[in-house]
Structures are given as structure tokens and as C-alpha cells.
Amino acid sequence: MSASPALDHVHAGAHGHHYTTTGLDSRKIAIWAFIGSECMLFASLISTYLIYKGRSVVGPFPHESCAPPACATALKPILNIPVTSASTFVLLMSSLAMVLALAAVENRNLPKLTTGDRILGSSKLWLWMTCILGATFLAFQSFEFTSFVHEGLSIRTNLFGSSFFTLTGFHGAHVTAGVIWLGTLLAIDYKRGLGPADAINVDIAALYWHFVDVVWIAIFTLIYLIK
């Protein structure tokens, strides 16, 4: 029994009215359908980038140096692969933290006998970790965008700038939404604790987070590594 009648209402609503004839939770069906539609959104953005690839008239360019008269001054390739590799690693690790957060919520009622069990069973720890890693990825992206602007590449400079900032900006906005979503889960965890009954809600957030991760896997290869 929870302390708040309002919370009781939320609990009842969360567990009693989500059946479908498939036997599956309608919220989970909805998030997968949403993820499917997001696949098409990002495919259109990636397609746009690839179509415009190599068609910029003026620099800076992603993988090629730029010399006058194409550029006012000599410019190096603008993509910073070491920094982006680090941010990719950070996002991959955030996915690991997210699955551990979900496992901790699902197994909350299991006894925690060892220190390792207590660490793995702490949903707060893993949600915090996921949030921090997500925020770190956003910090890397902010650094990258800022350095690009300082080097003379903005969304208006050339076709590469327009398609690059649109694609990675949309992805960054999705990561930001994910961090906010995880922050709300963390707030609920501190307020009343997340238990097995909340696993479906955490799982839905986790699916969104992993999707953001797989989109970045595609972006990292197609935009950053393929010259």
C-alpha cells in the first residue's frame, strides 16, 4: 500500500488496462511502432547526407583538405575521428548501463547477498550512470559543433554543413530527450522506488535509449568513417 492515494491510482492504471488481443502490452507495441517510424526518419536524414556527400562547392570538407580558391584559407579535414570515437564508446557504455538498470529494477525483490549483488542490483546507480554517459555524449557533441563553427563550418556554409548539422542535431535532440526521460525515471526511483511492477516502463525507456545508440552506430560508420 503506498502512502499517497494519487500514487495508488497511478499504480492501478499502470497495471490493469494495457492488454491487447495479442497478449502483449499495448505500450510496448506502441514503442516498437514508434521506433519503426524513427528508423524511417533517420533513414531519410542519412539519405540526404549521402546524396549531398562530395557535392559541396566550398569548404570545409569532412575528409578532404581544402586549399584556395575553394577556401579562403587552407583548411584541414574537419571531422575529428578520435573525439567522435570516444563519444561512440561513451554511448555504447551507456547502453550497457541501461540494460543493467532494467535488470536491477526487474530483480529488485531478489536477495542481495554480496557487494557485487548490491552494486548490480542498484537501479539508481545504473540510471545515474546512463544519464551521465548520455550527458557526456552531448558534451562531446557540443564540443564538436562549437569547434566546427570556429573552423568556419556552420549549417549555412555548404551542403555538407547543412546535412551534417541536421542529421547529428536530430540525433542529439533524441539523446537529450532520452536523458530527460531517464531523469524522470530516476526521480521516481528516489521518490517511491522502482520495482518489478515498473519494469515495463523502464523497458520502454531502455528501448528508446538503445535505439538512439543503434542510430549512432550507423551514423558513426556512414558519416565519420567512410571517406
Partner 1 sequence: MAHNESAPKAGHDAHGAAVASGGGHAPAKDDPHAHAHPTWKQYKWVALILTLITVVEVWIYYTPFTQSKLFVPTLLIMSAVKFAIVVLFYMHLKYDARLFRALFTGPLIIAVVTLISLMFLFGHLAIRAGS
3-state secondary structure 154-207: CCCCCHHHHHHHHHHHHHHHHHHHHHHHHHHHHHHHHHHCCCHHHHHHHHHHHH
Q: Is residue 123 within 8 Å of 182, Cβ to Cβ? A: no
User: Where on the phi/psi map is residue 173: left (φ > 0), alpha (ψ -120 to 50), or beta?
Assistant: alpha
Number of neighbouring beta carbons within 10 Å of residue 149: 14
Which residue lies nearer to partner 1 by CB, 41 or 67? 41
Phi, psi angles (nearest 5°) of residue 39: -55, -45
Which residue lies nearer to partner 1 by CB, 21 or 73? 21
Q: What is the DSSP string of 59-114?
A: S--SSS-B-TTTSSS-B-----HHHHHHHHHHHHHHHHHHHHHHHHHHTTTS---S
Q: Shortest approach of partner 1 to residue 35 CB, angstroms?
A: 6
Q: Shortest approach of partner 1 to residue 188 CB, angstroms?
A: 15
Q: Shortest approach of partner 1 to residue 66 CB, angstroms?
A: 19
Which residue lies nearer to partner 1 by CB, 19 or 154? 19
Q: Shortest approach of partner 1 to residue 156 CB, angstroms?
A: 22
Q: Shortest approach of partner 1 to residue 68 CB, angstroms?
A: 26
Binding site for partner 1 (CB under 8 A): 1-2, 8, 11-13, 15-19, 22-25, 27-29, 32-33, 35-37, 39-40, 42-44, 46-47, 50-51, 53, 81, 85, 88-89, 92-93, 95-96, 98-100, 102-103, 106, 109, 120, 196-197, 199-200, 202-203, 206-207, 210-211, 213-214, 217-218, 220-222, 225-227
Which residue lies nearer to partner 1 by CB, 40 or 150? 40
Which residue lies nearer to partner 1 by CB, 75 or 102? 102
Shortest CA distance to 110 belongs to which of 194, 196, 190, 188? 196
Amino acid letter, 30: A
Shortest CA distance to 27 belongs to which of 180, 198, 189, 184? 198
Q: Shortest approach of partner 1 to residue 223 CB, angstroms?
A: 11
Which residue lies nearer to partner 1 by CB, 42 or 61? 42
